[in-house]
Structure 1
Amino acid sequence: MKNVILYALIFSLLFNVFQYVNSTKILDAKQKEMDHVKTNLLTSRDSVAALANANYFALESDEDAQEYFYSNNLDYKKVGIKVKEDLISLNENKNGNPLVPYDPIDGKPFLINTSKTLNHRWIIAEFSNGDLWGQVLLKYFVEEGKVTQFETVETVLY
């Protein structure tokens, strides 16, 4: 009987040591995982904040520009679409987009690839001819029922 109690005591001691070591390893692994998740969360928050700041100059987030269009009985979303369509339609010119003040080089005209409407008056656009590229700052004027009028303010050719 004493041997059974001794064996049971030794067995329970070994079992408790095993449980302690195993639990410690599990807790350490979970702590490392939690630290990793916290680091990723902080990085994600910084990225979201940077993205919000990057979109600061956009018609979609500029309430004053939106109010300008509403006061003229225009929907800023429809205006934004119309302005982009009118801007890209100018690429159909055989000498390239007339808003880009550079003549075709090696027979390749400069065309506007993408643009961003900054507010109710300004657009920034990227253009290229396949080899060279640049950016152009445009002023635009919208009137209901008329084609959008554009004016080149400044360009940069890289």
Structure 2
Amino acid sequence: MKKSFTLYAFILLVLINIFTYMFLSKEVKFEQNRYEKTTKKLRDSVALMTDKLIDANYFSLENNENAQNYFDSAIANKTIAYEKLIPVVTEKLMDLNANPKGNPYVGQDQIGVNKFVINKVKVLNHRWIIADYSDGKMWGEVLLKYFVNEDESISFEVMQSLLYAQ
């Protein structure tokens, strides 16, 4: 009786070990497949987002070699580094928000009690800027021309302004 019990217990333990081994080996393969699929999806989405970012930054002075060459031209009297120019232009435009009647380059007169100020600026190339402005209730966008003068001052000119309906 003792021998048959030991034999049955031994057979049961062997079967349990076989089933456990099979389960764990299949689980490892399943996890590896899931990891590979997830990694592939993430790589695809990173590549897609990179492509979208490149498309979104197509109109940008940082990525426009022709506009950069305008400032590095051998014909010009001086060379301006566009990396330093972008923050200077942005800062000069944002400094005009301190005007009591609002930023004069939004292309809109003050409508209510709040003044129009520029919130975001994007330097498109060596000549144009697009900016977002608001007074807290109404929003709009403005397309500006900018010029770097001989004395390295920067002047702006409103090309087109758009105020969105409430």
TM bucket normalised to smaller: 0.7 to 0.9
TM-score by length of 1: 0.87
Equivalent pairs, count: 157
- The corresponding residue for 2:108 is 102
CA deviation after TM superposition for structure 1 residue 7, in Å: 7.4
The share of aligned pairs that are identical, in percent, is 38
CA deviation after TM superposition for structure 1 residue 14, in Å: 4.5
- The corresponding residue for 1:91 is 97
The counterpart of 2:137, out of the listed 131, 134, 139, is 131
Output one character per residue of 1:97-128: Cα deviation in whole Å (capped at 9) or x when no partner.
11122221222111111100000001000011
Q: Give 2:109's aligned amino acid.
A: D
The counterpart of 1:75, out of the listed 54, 72, 81, is 81
**Inter-partner Cα distance in structure 1 for 2:19 and 2:109:** 82
Q: Give 1:87's aligned amino acid.
A: L
Q: Give 2:24's aligned amino acid.
A: N
Residues 3-12 or 19-28, more deviating: 3-12
Alpha-carbon distance change, 16 to 96 in structure 1, aligned in 2, over 3 angstroms: same
Unpaired segments ≥5 residues, structure 1: none
Determine helix, strand or coil for the equivalent of 1:59: coil
- The corresponding residue for 1:120 is 126
TM-score by length of 2: 0.83
Unpaired segments ≥5 residues, structure 2: none
Determine helix, strand or coil for the equivalent of 1:134: strand
Tell me if structure 2 keeps the 8 A contact 1:84–1:115: yes
**Inter-partner Cα distance in structure 2 for 1:12 and 1:54:** 63
